[in-house]
Amino acid sequence: MATRKKLYYSEVEIEKNLVTNGKQWMLLENWEEYIGYYHSYSSTREVYTEKEWHPKKSKVLVPFKEKPKSYFNYVDLVSYTRDSGEKRRFSGPSRYDNFTSPVYVARIPTPKELQEGIMERYFLIKRNEKSIRTPIEIDQIQAKTYNDSDSGINQFLYELVKMPWKIQGPEFDVFDGSILKIPGVVDTNRRIVDRFSKNFPILRKVLTNFREFSIYNVNNAY
């Protein structure tokens, strides 16, 4: 029987009736690949089996990893214990030993991103300082380590934000009367920042150049 992190979750925090066909999630209790219905909680990043929460049937899911059994045996040995039959991580600093510190990267759009007109940006925000600490922009290489078990970016300390960013098109929205015909770079990026800032207010303070990485930004070096 699993225990959730919070006693109460609002409906907007819960995504129900999700389905995985494999290679996406695995059961924490035995590291076996999971196929079937599941649900998730956006506020705590928890994922459980069943279409919605069931206090007896729901089990903890973690991101799928294609690793040998010996790897998971080692992870269990150094990172987990069992409390009343439930598998839990050890508390204390020892589990953070192998995490790496994020390194700020001054992004430059790739030729593919320039061709497609949109790029994906990655920001790390400290979980307990979402409104005051400046986010760290990283690259895709670092972002891919975010869900590694006890290595890569420390997912317990940081929250990873993946944000699309428009870099091609007209500078501003193009309308035909009241109908939006072509989304503009500036207006689109402003909408993106507004949307992500609902959960991460600091982004509105640091992402103020909506022309960044586009041809309309005179400071671009490429």
* CA dist., res. 183 & res. 90, Å (int): 49
90-146 pLDDT, tens digit each: 655 444 446 788 899 988 899 999 999 999 999 999 877 777 678 999 999 899 888
Does the pLDDT value for residue 220 go beyond 80?
no
Question: Which residues, at least 6 apart from 60, have a Cβ–Cβ distance to it below 8 Å?
Answer: 2, 27, 28, 29, 46, 47, 48, 87
- Residue 180 has a pLDDT of 95
- Residue 70 has a pLDDT of 78
Sorted by where each begins, the domain ranges of the chain are 11-91, 100-206
Helix/strand/coil for 218: coil
pLDDT greater at residue 89 or residue 142 = 142
- Residue 94 has a pLDDT of 45
26-85 pLDDT, tens digit each: 999 999 999 999 999 998 989 999 999 999 999 999 999 888 887 788 778 777 888 777
Does the pLDDT value for residue 221 go beyond 50?
no
Question: Which residues, at least 6 apart from 146, have a Cβ–Cβ distance to it below 8 Å?
Answer: 152, 153, 155, 158, 160
187-216 pLDDT, tens digit each: 999 999 999 999 899 999 999 999 999 999
Which residue type sits at 203? L
Confidence of residue 219 (pLDDT cuts 50, 70, 90): low
Nearest to 37 by CA among 28, 47, 171, 211: 47
Does the pLDDT value for residue 151 go beyond 80?
no
Torsion of CA 20, 24, 103, 91, to 10 degrees: 100
Please give the full DSSP string across 149-203, using - where no structure is assigned.
TTSEE-TTTEEEEEEEEE-SS-SS-EEETTEEEE--HHHHHHHHHHHHHTT-THH
- Residue 161 has a pLDDT of 95
* CA dist., res. 169 & res. 165, Å (int): 12
